Structure 1
Amino acid sequence: MTTNATSSTSLVQRLRGLSGEVVKFGVVGLGGVFVNFGVSNAVLHLTGWAPVRCSVIGTLVAIAANYLGYRYWVYRDSDAASRRREITLFLIFSGIGMLIENGTVWFATYTLGLHGPLAYNISKAFGTGLGTLFRFFSYRTWVFKAMPEVPAAEPAPGTNPATSPGAQTPAVVEQAELLLATEEVHHYAK
Structure 2
Amino acid sequence: MLSNLIRKLLRGQTFREWFVEFLQFCTVGLGAYIVDVGLFNLLAYSLPIDLPGDKSLTAKIVSVTVSVIFAWIANRLWTFKKRRNENKGREFAMFALVNLGGLLIALGCLGFSRYVLHLTTQFADNVSGNIVGLVLGTAFRYVMYRYFVFSPASRREKVASCGEKTADA
TM-score category, normalised to shorter length: 0.7 to 0.9
What are the ranges of 5 or more consecutive residues in structure 2 without an aligned counterpart?
1-6, 155-169
Aligned to 1:22: 22
Alpha-carbon distance between aligned partners in 1 of 2:141 and 2:30, rounded to the nearest angstrom? 13
Aligned to 2:145: 139
Give how far 1:85 is off. 1.8
Identify which of structures 1 and 2 has the higher relative contact order when contacts are C-alpha pairs closer than 8 Å and 6+ apart. 2
8 Å CA contact 2:76–2:84 kept in 1: the answer is: no
In the alignment of these two chains, the number of paired residues is 141
What is the TM-score normalised by the length of structure 1?
A: 0.68
Give how far 1:14 is off. 2.2
1:66 aligned to 2:89? Answer: no
Alpha-carbon distance between aligned partners in 2 of 1:35 and 1:79, rounded to the nearest angstrom? 23
Alpha-carbon distance between aligned partners in 1 of 2:12 and 2:102, rounded to the nearest angstrom? 30
What are the ranges of 5 or more consecutive residues in structure 1 without an aligned counterpart?
1-6, 149-190
| Pair member with larger Rg | 1
8 Å CA contact 1:79–1:147 kept in 2: the answer is: no
1:52 to 54, 57, 60: 57
What is the TM-score normalised by the length of structure 2?
A: 0.76
RMSD of equivalent CA atoms: 2.4
Aligned to 2:101: 96
Give how far 1:92 is off. 0.8
Alpha-carbon distance between aligned partners in 2 of 1:38 and 1:48, rounded to the nearest angstrom? 18
Give how far 1:108 is off. 0.4
Aligned to 1:179: none
Give how far 1:35 is off. 0.3
Alpha-carbon distance between aligned partners in 1 of 2:75 and 2:23, rounded to the nearest angstrom? 12
Aligned to 2:111: 106
Alpha-carbon distance between aligned partners in 1 of 2:150 and 2:95, rounded to the nearest angstrom? 9
8 Å CA contact 1:78–1:147 kept in 2: the answer is: no
Distance 1:30 1:101, change over 3 A: same
Give how far 1:122 is off. 0.4
Distance 1:12 1:91, change over 3 A: closer
Aligned to 1:188: none
Tell me the SS of whatever aligns to 2:81: coil
Aligned to 2:134: 128
Aligned to 1:181: none
- Identity of paired residues, percent? 28
Give how far 1:15 is off. 1.6
Give how far 1:100 is off. 0.6
